[in-house]
């Protein structure tokens, strides 16, 4: 993404200088896809995902609830913990740091002892450290999302928002469907598509959006 970023005041949107190339990119994107039917913050999220991928077919891919997105945005702007499954998601979030579950001490040991993937073990350890009110962005491992949904069902974690967009042909669709069935405040994708760039795009949209006028 082009443009410099600065951190906004607590409770307010992040401010940044938007590069003319990005402005033109959004103009072209909006000429090729219809975003008018989305609620305002959902539109900001979908637009940023389409902009990130240069693929207008993403307009039919994102499943999100406007109230859940607003709650997640409020949590982020109030400095709630932001936790990602892998470093690639954290690296794509441009306005604030994120904790990476996979980097928590003891991940390898827990994975071996409990028969988990390392991504799932990282989520379990992060949930122990941040049981209440965190924003979770999972863009790589379906097993990480399954573990977060399981922990929530057991009452061990209470997220402000789950951005669950793992990618892949094995487990990704089922994990995202489980997230939507869980009743957790969430944003997800409907098919195998997803990935670190998508998870980061959703979080960036929440951080930069400002009323009125969307995220731009």
Which residues face 82 on adjacent strands? 135
- For 174-208, the DSSP string reads HHHHHHHHHT-SEEEESSS---HHHHHHHHHHHHH
Helix axis angle for 20-32 and 40-53, nearest 10°, is 100
User: Are the CB atoms for 140 and 166 separated by under 8 Å?
Assistant: yes
**Exposure b/e, 102-135, CB count within 10 A at least 16 = b:** bebeebeebbeeeebbbbbbbbbbbbeebeeebb
Query: Which residue stretches of the chain are H helix?
Result: 20-32, 40-53, 66-77, 87-92, 107-114, 118-129, 142-153, 172-182, 196-208
Separation of alpha carbons 125 and 115, rounded Å: 14
Active site (annotated) includes residue 51: yes
CA dist., res. 26 & res. 2, Å (int): 12
* From 19, 37, 51, 130, active-site residue: 51
Residues recognised as catalytic: 51
């Amino acid at each position: 993404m082009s443009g410099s970023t600065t951190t906004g005041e607590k409770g307010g949107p992040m401010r940044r200088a938007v590069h003319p190339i990005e402005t033109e990119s959004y103009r072209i994107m909006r000429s090729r896809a219809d975003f008018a039917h989305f609620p305002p913050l959902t539109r900001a999220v979908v637009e940023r995902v389409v902009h990130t991928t240069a693929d207008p077919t993403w307009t039919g891919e994102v499943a999100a609830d406007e109230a859940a997105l607003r709650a997640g945005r409020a949590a982020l702007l109030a400095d709630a913990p932001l936790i990602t499954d892998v470093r690639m998601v954290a690296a794509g979030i441009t306005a604030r740091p994120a904790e990476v579950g996979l980097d928590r001490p003891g991940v390898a040991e827990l994975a071996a002892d409990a028969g988990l993937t390392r991504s799932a073990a990282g989520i379990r350890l992060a949930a122990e450290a941040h049981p209440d009110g965190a924003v979770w962005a999972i863009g790589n491992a379906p097993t990480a999302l399954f573990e977060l949904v399981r922990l929530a069902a057991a009452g061990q974690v209470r997220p402000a928002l789950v951005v669950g967009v793992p990618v892949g042909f094995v487990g990704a669709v089922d994990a995202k469907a489980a997230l939507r069935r869980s009743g957790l405040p969430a944003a997800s994708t409907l098919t195998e598509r997803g990935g670190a760039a998508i998870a980061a795009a959703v979080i960036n949209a929440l951080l930069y959006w400002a009323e009125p006028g969307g995220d731009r």
